[in-house]
Amino acid sequence: MTMSTSPHAGKFRTKLACIGAGVLVLAVALYLILPIIALFFRTTPDLFFETLRDPAVISALTLSLTTSIISLVIVILVGTPFAYLHCRNQYPGKVIVDTIIDLPLVLPPAVAGFALLVLYGRMGLIGKYASLFGITFAFTTLAVIMAQIFVASPFYLRQAKSLFDQLDPAYEMTARTLGASPFRVFARVVVPLTAGGLVSGAVMTFGRALGEFGATIMFAGNMPGVSQTMPLAVYVNLNGDFNVGLTIAILLVLISFAIMIAVRLLATREVPHA
């Protein structure tokens, strides 16, 4: 049996496939963007800017930005040398450490917060000894930072590990033969050559820290000015001042957009090859 198709039938099928693909793309895009657009339709520019001056908004915004920046600085300062040493050395249990780094990505944030509470809470394994010295972790601003670091650091660590693995070892070997100490090689060669990707990872980490909700509410609570970050303020104001919640939600959307644009711009910078 032979099969034959007329040119018209072929064209029709191509057209149909194009329409099908278009509908699919439109459906996915609309599903993702419609809830975001809905937020903007529930307010007006005047109301938005007026609510921005509300003390509850300012308090949540200040707390979120401050804690997220502190978390990010700690993740960069500790995470960059950690990821580098991890990539460049073989040691027993390296595979396990790799898995531990990724664990917070799949762990439900509420579980992460609960685990932090079990360890650092007043009756926790470490917390009960720390409280003997008057040190309290749970339900403080410090707890917000600890929760953010726990949940957001894998974004930076994974990116840093990937960049250091990709970097041609010839750069480091050359720098060593030229007389540079391992620290100088790291600071003057490795970090500058991977800077674009590291900044991209840092931006993603900042975004994740800023949006942290589950671990924070479990471990740090929900106290205005102490632990009520922007996502928590959105949640609380669902049944309180709706405009405050809406304004903070829109702020978070705008910051998220800025983060995604920054990541896209920085992601174009590749690790150079020797």
Partner 1 sequence: MLEATIQKALRDFTLDLSLRVDDGSVLALMGENGAGKSTTLNIIAGLLVPDSGTIRFNGTVVFDEKAGINIPVEDRRIGYVFQRSAVFPHMTVEDNVAFGLRARGCDPALVKNKVSRWLDCLNISSLAPVKAAGLSGGQKQRVALARALATEPALLMLDEPFGGLDMESTRSVKDAIRQCITDLKIPCILVTHHWEDAMDVGDRVSTIQKGRITREGELGDWEFSQHAT
Nearer to partner 1 by Cβ, of 41 and 91: the residue is: 91
Structure tokens at 121: 């809470």
Cβ neighbours of residue 68 closer than 8 Å, sequence gap 6 or more: 148, 206, 209, 210
Nearer to partner 1 by Cβ, of 48 and 171: the residue is: 171
Nearer to partner 1 by Cβ, of 20 and 192: the residue is: 192
Cβ atoms of residues 250 and 43 within 8 Å: yes
CB of 161 to partner 1, least distance (A): 21
Q: What share of the chain is helix, strand, coil (3-state, %, to 5)?
A: 75, 0, 25
Helix (H) or strand (E) holding 43: none
Nearer to partner 1 by Cβ, of 262 and 271: the residue is: 271
CB of 170 to partner 1, least distance (A): 4
Residues that bind partner 1 (CB under 8 A): 168, 170-171, 173-181, 184, 188-189, 192-193, 272-274
Nearest 5 degrees, angle CA 227-CA 229-CA 232?
100
CB of 174 to partner 1, least distance (A): 4
Nearer to partner 1 by Cβ, of 174 and 222: the residue is: 174
Nearer to partner 1 by Cβ, of 173 and 258: the residue is: 173
CB of 189 to partner 1, least distance (A): 6
3-state secondary structure 134-196: CCCCCCCHHHHHHHHHHHHHHHHHHHHHHHHHHCCHHHHHHHHHCCCCHHHHHHHHHHHHHHH
CB of 87 to partner 1, least distance (A): 17
CB of 29 to partner 1, least distance (A): 37
